[in-house]
Amino acid sequence: MSRDYHYAVRLLLVDNFDSFVYNLAQAFGVLGADPVVMRNDVSFGELEAIEPDAVVISPGPGTPEEAGVSIEAIREFGARLPLLGVCLGHQCIAAAYGGVVSRAPVGPNHGKTSAVQHDGAGVLSGLPSPFVATRYHSLAVEPGALPDALEVTARSDDGTIMALRHRNLPVEGVQFHPESVLTPDGPRLLANFLGMTSGRVEHLAGPSCR
């Protein structure tokens, strides 16, 4: 994957005290990004001082309301930068825009894989449908309480929401773990996200060559 994609972008990774956060940082680093990891107990001003090109909200324990600065970061950065939420980060996106997160109706999924059907757009562009994804979560976004600003872009074979996209902003969330070796198409998803970011950086630097 590193031979096919290389995106030299400054990536802010908000760490929700997750044991897998450096796996996620490494996965982005392989693709050429420069990840800066900041814990969720800092202020938004400290995050903003990083001057990122894009933002990732990490997995982690607990609920969106317990995720420190994550929801504020989504509302502030999401209005102007590409932003990706992973697992808890995905749930934080739902909460940030008025959605509801509760216990997953099918029970906890820790280290389990599922087949994921999706719309083939955004970060999911070019991935097979279905593809296999690894899940580590006991909470999920409630489909019946989804705000109008968000659309469902993927579901698992048990019907759980696996991905969301903001209708007007470059904000996407995935419930599964794209950095896991048990999500074989994960590197393509992360590359798609960095591709969104790279396009923005190129645009800000000067006219497009296209």
166 is catalytic: no
48 is catalytic: no
Considering the candidates 66, 87, 90, 151, report the single residue annotated as catalytic: 87
d(CA 173, CA 171): 7
Residue 191 zone, left/alpha/beta (φ > 0; ψ -120 to 50; rest): alpha
Kindly state the DSSP code that residue 53 receives in the 8-state scheme.
Answer: S
Considering the candidates 48, 66, 179, 202, report the single residue annotated as catalytic: 179
d(CA 141, CA 104): 8
Going across the sheet that includes 171-174, the strands are 34-39, 10-15, 54-57, 83-86, 171-174, 161-166, 150-156, 109-118, 131-137
| Position 134, amino acid | T
72 is catalytic: no
Considering the candidates 118, 137, 166, 177, report the single residue annotated as catalytic: 177
How open is the CA angle 58-22-62, to the nearest 5 degrees? 35
Q: Which residues are catalytic?
A: 87, 177, 179
